């Protein structure tokens, strides 16, 4: 992961927080959910979506459905390794190829590179080196490309 994660937004499900029926009990203030512990250990703020807030939860559900349609429903993988390969291929295509309206028609990778050039302190690694392929612009290369402007449309 080339950048620092500072905040995680999750729903109010059991994998991320203590169930409401236990939240007000006598020992509630002494309990910390495992997910919150891991976030605290890594300096990550954990925020919860508003209860019954369909827009945020709907975005997550839509992304999960897209991933499922592109992997599980499209391929019948004989083993877990093949599934992981298909999932990695989908994530790479989505990260490096799909332009998103919310990112001003940039791919997620292009957007991250643009943020890196203006705010490098937010990153642990140079994201330019994280791209797929031969990585011709890796350490020691003579040419170094840093996208600083939004491509013409």
Residue 66 belongs to some domain of the structure: no
Q: C-alpha angle with apex 62: 61 to 65, nearest 5 degrees? A: 85
Q: Is 38 part of a structural domain of the chain? A: yes
pLDDT band at 43 (very low <50, low <70, confident <90, very high): very high
Residue 112 within a domain: no
**Domain membership of residue 3 as a residue range:** 1-20+32-52
Residue 106 has what pLDDT?
93
Q: What is the pLDDT of residue 67?
A: 81
pLDDT band at 57 (very low <50, low <70, confident <90, very high): low
Q: Is residue 7 part of a domain?
A: yes
CA-based Rg of the chain, rounded to a whole angstrom?
Answer: 20
Structural domain includes residue 2 = yes
CA angle 93, 75, 61 (to 5 degrees): 65
Tell me if 15 is assigned to some domain: yes
Contacts of residue 112, defined as CB under 8 A and 6 or more positions apart, other chains included, come to 2, 3, 127
Asked if residue 17 has pLDDT above 70, the reply is yes
pTM above 0.85, yes or no: no
Angstrom distance (rounded) from CA 135 to CA 153: 26
Q: Does residue 73 sit within a domain? A: no
Q: How far apart are CA 128 and CA 112, in angstroms?
A: 9
pLDDT tens, residue by residue, 105-147: 999 889 988 998 998 888 888 887 777 766 555 444 444 444 4
Count structural domains, the chain.
1
Predicted local distance difference test score (pLDDT) of residue 118: 92
């Amino acid at each position: 992961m080339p950048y620092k994660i500072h905040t995680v937004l999750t729903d109010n499900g059991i994998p991320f927080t203590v169930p409401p029926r236990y939240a007000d009990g006598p020992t509630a203030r002494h309990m910390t959910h495992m997910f919150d512990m891991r976030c605290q250990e890594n300096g990550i703020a954990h925020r919860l979506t508003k209860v019954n807030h369909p827009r945020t939860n709907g975005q997550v559900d839509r992304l999960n459905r897209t991933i499922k349609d592109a992997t599980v429903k499209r391929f019948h993988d004989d083993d877990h390794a093949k599934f992981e390969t298909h999932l990695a291929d989908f994530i790479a295509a989505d990260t490096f190829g799909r332009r998103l309206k919310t990112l001003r028609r940039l791919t997620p990778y292009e957007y991250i590179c643009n943020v890196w050039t203006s705010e490098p302190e937010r990153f642990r690694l140079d994201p330019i080196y994280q791209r797929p392929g031969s990585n011709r612009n890796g350490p020691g290369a003579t040419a170094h490309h840093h996208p600083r402007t939004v491509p013409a449309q």
